[in-house]
Structure 1
Amino acid sequence: MTQTTEAARPAVILLSGGLDSATCLAIAKSQGFAPYCLSFDYGQRHNAELKAAARVAKALGAVEHRVVRIDLATFGGSALTDASIEVPTDGATDGGIPVTYVPARNTILLSYALAWAEVLKGDDIFIGVNAVDYSGYPDCRPDYIAAYQAMARLATRTGVEGSPLTIHTPLISLSKADIIKTGLALGVDYSLTVTCYKADDEGRACGVCDACRLRAAGFADAGVPDPTRYQPA
């Protein structure tokens, strides 16, 4: 394992390979943290994002990047982990939680990040959740993050011994346009990222799923060119 220096505190960054998590990594690094990136092969249908995560981690100078394999597709229950459930492409919503929500995903991913942070003797985890321009997932809300952080401080040796963990959510109250502007100011190359729920093996986006719509609108609102590669019509 790569050793951190005394000048840089280790932080675990949950890195999906998408726009938000890439920005989160850049923010963590700009704040002086030594970033240890953690990605997951959890049975998602948009597996091209893992290649994107590797590109982003390398480009932004992660100390280390690990990919953990878990199988949430065993349970299904989401359009992202069950091929029998179609990813919505019409942009319609009834105001409820969409079928692209993966049951308990952030709780599971944060638990892995928590374990690695303890091993690294680090007190910081970064996650790119957002409660403004997002799809309505319950595990992206501020009260969820606050509850998880409280639990983590009770459930870990470092927390009990007086060094409580902090879950950083620097994007949680930003619009997608502001996220993009922040990332560009920090040198993020968004052409390396993949956000689409239906990306093909080459990482090209479908252009019509909810994730694609939010991403495209963000670039338009930010007034900057969209570097996304799209699948042929």
Structure 2
Amino acid sequence: MSASPASRRPAVVLLSGGLDSATVLAMARAQGFDAYCLSLDYGQRHRAELVAAGRVAQALGAAGHRTISLDLRAFGGSALTDSAIDVPTGGVAEGIPVTYVPARNTIMLSLSLAWAEVLGANDIFCGVNAVDYSGYPDCRPEYIRAFEAMANLATKAAVEGAKLTVHAPLIDLSKAGIIRAGTQLGVDYALTVSCYQADDDGRACGVCDSCRLRREGFATAGVPDPTRYR
């Protein structure tokens, strides 16, 4: 049962437009939060995910949705922000892949922290996952714990007694588990875009790491895959 409007608390939800963050938004709403969604236009090659984020925010009843522009192509260093680096398509490999964007989660969580303090929100939700993922160091539980500790040292709200919690409800779930959870909460995954090199219409390549993990997740969960492939 959802909370009444008077008892709902504000929370900032990082929303990329992909499968994981859509599920986290549905979870935050189910837990009784008014979700203020934050997306980041960082110059990513899969810009269709930003359009998807708007669709997801509206469909799942977000209280607000903002997109911040911070062009990380100025630094590059990732296949997602540097057109000279190809997105790997040979399958999920060991190690940290070239799709890792340096400091991306730290930047996004820092921006969400700023908005949370302005909103008077004590909760931030993010969709990091340490099971079916591509080996990114900023998706690990110890990273989330460290950021939360830093946030509670860095903000006026926390110093004055309003402790902030960073929620990562997908951290220990498989991709299939995430899909099952989201399906139970009514997430329409056809609205989402996960592909690292989706075209302007949001159609997926089917061969990048993200596509492979997503396709396998639907198959394992026994849920029809609504992804539109090129």
TM range (shorter): over 0.9
Partners of 1:153 and 1:130 in 2: how far apart?
A: 22
Counterpart of 2:138 in structure 1 is 139
Counterpart of 1:45 in structure 2 is 45
How far apart are residue 7 of structure 1 and its match?
A: 1.2
Contact map agreement 2:92 2:134 (CA 8 A) in 1: no
User: Could you list the runs of 4 or more consecutive aligned residues of structure 1 that deviate by over 4 angstroms after TM superposition?
Assistant: none
Partners of 2:187 and 2:206 in 1: how far apart?
A: 21
* Structure-to-structure mapping, 1:92-171, within 5 angstroms: 93=93, 95-171=94-170
Counterpart of 1:19 in structure 2 is 19
Amino acid at match of 1:68: I
How far apart are residue 224 of structure 1 and its match?
A: 1.1
* Structure-to-structure mapping, 1:173-184, within 5 angstroms: 173-184=172-183
How far apart are residue 109 of structure 1 and its match?
A: 0.4
1:56 aligns to 2:56 (yes or no): yes
Structure 2 vs 1, CA of residues 27 and 92 (structure 1 numbering), >3 Å: closer, same or farther? Answer: closer
**Structure 2, unpaired ranges of 5+:** none
Amino acid at match of 2:15: L
Matched residue of 1:13: which SS? strand
1:187 aligns to 2:186 (yes or no): yes
Matched residue of 2:7: which SS? coil
Amino acid at match of 1:17: G
Matched residue of 1:171: which SS? coil
Counterpart of 1:205 in structure 2 is 204
Amino acid at match of 1:78: S
Contact map agreement 2:131 2:171 (CA 8 A) in 1: yes
Matched residue of 2:54: which SS? helix
Counterpart of 1:196 in structure 2 is 195
Partners of 2:183 and 2:6 in 1: how far apart?
A: 29
Partners of 2:75 and 2:108 in 1: how far apart?
A: 16
Structure 2 vs 1, CA of residues 6 and 197 (structure 1 numbering), >3 Å: closer, same or farther? Answer: same
1:72 aligns to 2:68 (yes or no): no
Q: Give TM-score scaled by structure 1 length.
A: 0.96
Amino acid at match of 1:54: G
Partners of 2:69 and 2:92 in 1: how far apart?
A: 32
Partners of 1:116 and 1:71 in 2: how far apart?
A: 19
Amino acid at match of 1:228: T
Tell me how many residue pairs correspond in the alignment. Answer: 227
CA-to-partner distance for each residue in 1:89-109, whole Å, 9 max, x for gaps? Answer: 01152x211000000000000
Amino acid at match of 2:218: F
Partners of 2:83 and 2:42 in 1: how far apart?
A: 14
Matched residue of 1:128: which SS? coil
Partners of 2:74 and 2:46 in 1: how far apart?
A: 16
Matched residue of 2:52: which SS? helix
Partners of 2:203 and 2:159 in 1: how far apart?
A: 46
How far apart are residue 138 of structure 1 and its match?
A: 0.2
Q: CA RMSD in A?
A: 1.0
